[in-house]
Structure 1
Amino acid sequence: MKKQSGFTLIELVIVVVILGFLAVTAIPKFLDLTDQAKQANIEGMAGGFATAVSLARAQWEAEARPTDTSDRNVVDYDGTFVLLTTQNTTSGIRAGYIVSSVSGINSGETLVTGFSDANCLDIINSILQQPPRATSSITTLNDVNSTDYYVTNSGSGADALCHYFLKETLNKNASGEFVEPSGTITEVGNSFTYKPATSEVVVYINI
C-alpha cells in the first residue's frame, strides 16, 4: 500500500508568500484599470456630447437659421425639435446652441431666466441618440442601478454651465450614500461641463 503524503508546512508557507506577492502586484494594477475606465467613460461621453451640440448647430445653420412663431431659434435635430440660444453680443452669448428640447423645458434661450438643472437634464436626453441614465435628484441617484450621471447647473447668462458627474466618482457620506457636489465642484469626481453661451465642453478628471 502506497504511503500518501501532503504538503509540508514550508511548502504551504511558500504558496502563501507567492499568492501574497501576486496580490500586492495585481491589485494596484486592477485599481488603476478601474480609474482608467472611469476616465474613459467621462471623456467618451463628453466627446459624444460636444459632437452632438456641434451637429445641431451645423444643421440650424444649414437650414438658414429657422425660428418658431415666437422668433426663437429652433431646429429639428434627428426628429427632436430643440431650442437654441438667442444671441446677445453684449454679454457674449452666441446664437444656435441647445438649451432644451421644445417639448421639454421650453425656456432658457437667453440663459438669464428659466435656465436650470432641468434644462441640463433635458439637453443630454435630447442631444444624444442613446443618452445615459441621468438625474438631477440626489435621492434618485442613490436608488440602486437607477442612474449613471448626476446633473446640475450653475451661473446664469454667459456664465451658465451644465455639470454632468459620473455617479461612481462622487463622494459618499458615512451611510455610503452619494452626496451632492459642493465647494469647487469641478474638483469633485469625474465630470464635464457644457457652456451654452459658447458651446464649450470641458472635462474634469479627479479620480
Structure 2
Amino acid sequence: MKRQSGFTLIELIIVVIILGLLAATALPRFLNVTAQAEDASLQGIAGGFASAVGLVRAQWEVAGRPAGTAGVATVNYDGVNVGVDSNFGYPTGSGTVASVVGSVTAAECIAAFQSIFQSPPTANTTFNVNDSIFVRYAAPVCEFHQTAGLTAAPAAGILSTNGFTYNPQTGQVAIFLNKP
C-alpha cells in the first residue's frame, strides 16, 4: 500500500498566515513608491540642472568673462551657445536677455533649461500633462514644476507641487517637494 504525501491542513493554514503577515508589513512600503519615484526623478533633474549651471558659469570664467552687449553674453557650452548674464555669468537663456529682474521670461527659462541639458525633459510654458515640466517666471526666479499627477497649473509663486526654482541672477537652484 502506497502512502500519500503532501501538506496537512494545519501546515497550509500556517503558510497562509505567514504570507498574510509578510504582505501586511511589506504592502505599506510599496504603496508610496510612485511618490518616491517622482521625488527622485525631480531631484535628479534639479541636480543635473544645478551642475550644468555651475559648468556654464565656469566656461564663462574660462572664456575670460565675455562682456557681450546690453548685459548679455554667450559662451560655448559643449558646442551650444548659451546666453549668460555678462555681470555674473549665470545662464539666462537664448542669449538675448540679461538676467535683471523683469527682463527674463518663461520662454528664456525654457531656453536656458534646454540649452544646458544634452537631452532635456519636455518643458512648456503652457500647462500640459504630457510635458514633464511646466515652466513659469515669477520674478526673480524661474519655476520648474513637475507635471506628473497634476491636473492644472499651480498658481504663480505657489510652490505646492514638486519642482525647483532657478534664480538667473545668482545661479541658485532650490528644490521644493510639496506635492500632497
Q: What percent of counterpart residues are identical?
A: 38
Say whether 1:167 aligns with 2:140.
Answer: no
In structure 2, the gaps of 5 or more residues are 1-9
1:67 is displaced (CA, Å) by 3.7
Per the alignment, in what secondary structure is the counterpart of residue 25 of structure 1?
A: helix
Distance in 1, matches of 2:110 and 2:36, equals: 26
State the partner residue of 1:43.
Answer: 43
**Aligned mate of 2:134, from 134, 144, 150:** 150
State the partner residue of 2:117.
Answer: 128
Q: How many residues get paired?
A: 178
Distance in 2, matches of 1:154 and 1:71, equals: 21
Matched to 1:165, the amino acid is H
1:184 is displaced (CA, Å) by 5.3
* TM-score normalised according to structure 1 size: 0.71
Q: 1:183 to 1:132 in 2, by over 3 A?
A: closer
Contact 1:80 1:101 in 2 (8 A): no
Question: Alpha-carbon deviations, 1:128-147, whole Å to 9, x = none?
Answer: 11211111111xx134xxx2
Contact 1:85 1:111 in 2 (8 A): no
Q: 1:86 to 1:40 in 2, by over 3 A?
A: same
Q: 1:19 to 1:184 in 2, by over 3 A?
A: farther
Question: Alpha-carbon deviations, 1:3-47, whole Å to 9, x = none?
Answer: xxxxxxx99999987776555433321122222222211111111
Q: 1:62 to 1:166 in 2, by over 3 A?
A: same
Q: 1:184 to 1:59 in 2, by over 3 A?
A: closer
Distance in 2, matches of 1:152 and 1:71, equals: 22
State the partner residue of 1:26.
Answer: 26
**Alpha-carbon RMSD:** 3.0
Matched to 1:161, the amino acid is V
* TM-score normalised according to structure 2 size: 0.80
Distance in 2, matches of 1:54 and 1:74, equals: 15
1:50 is displaced (CA, Å) by 0.7
1:151 is displaced (CA, Å) by 1.2
**Aligned mate of 2:108, from 119, 124, 130:** 119
Mapping of 1:50-65 within 5 angstroms?
50-65=50-65
Distance in 2, matches of 1:166 and 1:132, equals: 10
In structure 1, the gaps of 5 or more residues are 1-9, 88-94, 172-177
Contact 1:83 1:109 in 2 (8 A): no
1:61 is displaced (CA, Å) by 0.7
Contact 1:74 1:84 in 2 (8 A): yes
